[in-house]
Structure 1
């Protein structure tokens, strides 16, 4: 993350907050399944097979597949667009959350909620991409915590400009987002997705004129 500007780190932190917020809502509504954290779903898929639960495996695999499609679809969009890539991906993710919200009010489409949420969250990971690789992971924080630990130790040993604060900010944003999402869900139910949709629209507007919107 050292190659990114402060404004980009703030944008990434805002998106991480949104990912944590939506993941908490999905986790609570779906009864313990993740829509942003596919490592958890992969573990649950394996545990479901070991427990002889085909339904559990299929549910986990469906979320993983939707997340994968979100990442792939957003990566295709990046390749097709020469400008405004970041705002476009934010708006696609917002559309996915909107579709998920609408599925809860449309009879017969309730089963689409989880996959649509996972699709929307997967797409966010293509916002920060350089040379075909993710430069900032938005919805997963294991690597961020590893780097935070390494950079914090480097700072303790006197190294300068380790950037540990950036990793701490990103992890904190997702964690606080999860707290906010959980609290909002218990107060508003699935209507609690509306602030996440609004946050993505704001992120799209904020990134529209950024220098990184062409290549970042």
Structure 2
């Protein structure tokens, strides 16, 4: 008769945390994922259906819209992808050269982008057009920047708005857990997904409560508050372990 031995507490804790250093960083990622979810919700409500978190779909649209003859829509999809990537590039360069002592300064870029989107929206005559391209692209830039927050030596280890990949990790982790190969490896990814889902839900409720037309202003306030919160939630020891 064979007996199975429970893994030591240190191993179980390491499996629970996944790519995170500790539970504090896991909470930080969930909060930032919530900001990503709220940003996506604001863009979708503001533009009546334009996703800034769904780069897979935008990549398909930049081809398919042209095949359909909707060249303007294909161009907006292309620009959305390019601006998202630009946000990643700018945040990465800023992390290397500007905020080596503030690892999550990318959140400040995201907050600034939401403020810029709100200000840009305020310059429109809302009666003359349904939405403006500029504000939505500001949000796409901010989301690209936000996704660089949880990284190790310049490499992103936990994307915050890439829900498809997160769900794959959750499913694979559950499968490995059931097979007895690796226990609890899915928990870290599930916490980030839960944060994104909560952000989309709470953001949607807030935007509707304060009027959808004010969604960008409401998001700007929320993003600035989260930037301040996560600046305090970060911990100096992460900086020593996560330097480029």
- Tell me the TM-score normalized by structure 1: 0.90
* Runs of 4+ in structure 1 over 4 Å off: none
2:137 corresponds to 1:115: yes
User: What secondary structure, in the 3-state scheme, does the structure 1 residue paired with 2:122 have?
Assistant: coil
Comparing 69-78 with 36-45, which one deviates more in the overlay?
36-45
Aligned to 1:73, which of 76, 85, 90?
Answer: 90
The answer to whether the 8 Å contact 1:18/1:200 transfers is no
- 1:1-216 equivalence runs, <5 A: 2-4=18-20, 5-81=22-98, 83-107=100-124, 110-188=132-210, 189-190=214-215, 191-193=217-219, 194-207=221-234, 209-216=235-242
User: Structure 2: how far apart are the matches of 1:85 and 1:126?
Assistant: 13
The answer to whether the 8 Å contact 1:17/1:176 transfers is yes
- Structure 2: any 5+ residue segments left out of the alignment? 1-16, 126-130
Deviation at 1:110, TM superposition (A): 4.0
User: Structure 1: how far apart are the matches of 2:241 and 2:83?
Assistant: 26
Query: In the alignment, what sits opposite 2:6?
Result: none
Comparing 78-87 with 51-60, which one deviates more in the overlay?
78-87
User: Structure 1: how far apart are the matches of 2:226 and 2:64?
Assistant: 35
Deviation at 1:104, TM superposition (A): 1.2
User: Structure 1: how far apart are the matches of 2:42 and 2:164?
Assistant: 20
Name the larger-Rg structure: 2
Q: CA, structure 1 residues 35+201, in 2 after alignment: closer, same or farther (shift >3 Å)?
A: farther
Deviation at 1:77, TM superposition (A): 0.9
Comparing 105-114 with 92-101, which one deviates more in the overlay?
105-114
The answer to whether the 8 Å contact 1:103/1:112 transfers is yes
Give the length in aligned residue pairs.
215
- Tell me the TM-score normalized by structure 2: 0.81
Deviation at 1:82, TM superposition (A): 6.1
